[in-house]
Structure formats: C-alpha cells, structure tokens
C-alpha cells in the first residue's frame, strides 16, 4: 500500500497486489478524509495501542468501523457486510502516518475560511481544539508535521 498525491494534488492510495488494503484505503479516503480532527483522532488511537496505553481502540465513522489492536486492524464497512478486511497493525499505522503527512501539508482550498482560531495555522488550530476537547497532550506532537508546541 502506498499513499501519495495524484495529478490534481489529491491524496491517492495505491493498493498493489494485496487486496486486503482496499478497505483500509477506503477507510482513509471516506472516514479520515481531509479532516485534521479525524486524522488526529486516528493517530491518537493507533498511538495508544502501539504504546500499550490501550489494548484496543474502536474508530467508528460514517462509512467504516476500524477495530485497532495489535497485531491486526479490522475494518468493516457499516452498510455492506461483505466489505471487511484485516491488515497488519504496522502496515495500517504506516499508511495512516503517510496520509497524515500529506494531509497536514495541504494548503487551504481557495475561498475556505478557517472558523476556529483563524489567528493560528490550520494544524495549530486543529491541535489546540483537539487537546482542549480531550484534555490531554496529543501523542504525535513534534512528529509528522504536528508542532511540538502550540501557540496559545
């Protein structure tokens, strides 16, 4: 599985020969999507499992549910029972991190107005809101383009 940019600048997923990754790619595209908040949530859940803070996290979204555990992440489409997959935890984490790097580097679309904390960069504002909501420091601070310090 490879995450990159297509010719239009949109984030694209290439699956290769292993079709298990198709559903996980759909989860990234449809559920994490281009939302900084959703991506920060997913990164936190994967980190909590990776570090042992949690043995299991469940990311329920609009189209898929991801059950995040070691050694396997299970993806289930919420409306199509036959659309499910199991992917290795490390491969899913790598793909999510690649998605995050590209997402956080994307410029704001023309005409888009940042409502929450427009005085901050997009990632600073998203991180500020995430940490205020969950009352904890995001575990990816200082990694993947997420600032180590956030302006107040």
Mean pLDDT, all residues of the chain = 90
Using an 8 Å Cβ cutoff, are 106 and 98 in contact?
A: no
Q: Has residue 15 been placed in a domain?
A: yes
Residue 50 burial (CB count, 10 A): 15
Q: Has residue 82 been placed in a domain?
A: yes
For residue 84, the cross-strand partners are: 76
**What's the residue count for the chain?**
152
pLDDT tens digits for 90-132?
999 999 999 999 998 888 778 888 889 899 988 999 999 999 9
Summary count for the chain: helices (H), strands (E) = 4, 6
Q: Which two tokens stand for residue 77?
A: 């489409």
Q: What is the pLDDT of residue 66?
A: 96
Total count of domains within the chain: 1
Is residue 116 helix, strand or coil? coil
Q: What is the pLDDT of residue 88?
A: 95
Q: Has residue 148 been placed in a domain?
A: no
Q: Has residue 131 been placed in a domain?
A: no
Q: Has residue 114 been placed in a domain?
A: no
Q: What is the pLDDT of residue 108?
A: 77
Mean pLDDT across the stretch 78-83? 92
Q: Which two tokens stand for residue 76?
A: 């289930």
pLDDT band per the 50, 70, 90 thresholds, residue 41? very high
Query: Which one has a higher pLDDT value, 35 or 69?
Result: 69
Q: Has residue 116 been placed in a domain?
A: no
Mean pLDDT across the stretch 38-66? 96
Q: What is the pLDDT of residue 46?
A: 97
Q: Has residue 41 been placed in a domain?
A: yes
pTM for the predicted model, two decimal places: 0.91
Q: Which domain holds residue 55?
A: 2-109
Q: Has residue 137 been placed in a domain?
A: no
Burial 112-125 (b: 16+ CB within 10 A, else e): eeeeebeebebbbb
């Amino acid at each position: 599985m490879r995450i990159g940019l297509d010719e239009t600048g949109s984030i694209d997923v290439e699956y290769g020969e292993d079709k298990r990754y198709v559903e996980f790619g759909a989860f990234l595209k449809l559920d994490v999507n281009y939302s900084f908040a959703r991506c920060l949530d997913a990164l936190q859940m994967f980190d909590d499992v990776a570090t042992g803070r949690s043995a299991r996290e469940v990311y329920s979204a609009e189209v898929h549910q991801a059950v995040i555990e070691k050694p396997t992440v299970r993806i289930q489409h919420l409306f199509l029972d036959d659309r499910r997959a199991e992917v290795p935890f490390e491969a899913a984490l790598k793909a999510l991190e690649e998605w995050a790097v590209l997402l956080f580097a994307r410029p704001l679309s023309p005409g888009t107005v940042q409502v929450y904390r427009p005085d901050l960069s997009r990632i600073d504002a998203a991180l500020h809101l995430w940490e205020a909501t969950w009352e904890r420091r995001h575990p990816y601070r200082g990694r993947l383009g997420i600032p180590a310090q956030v302006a107040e």
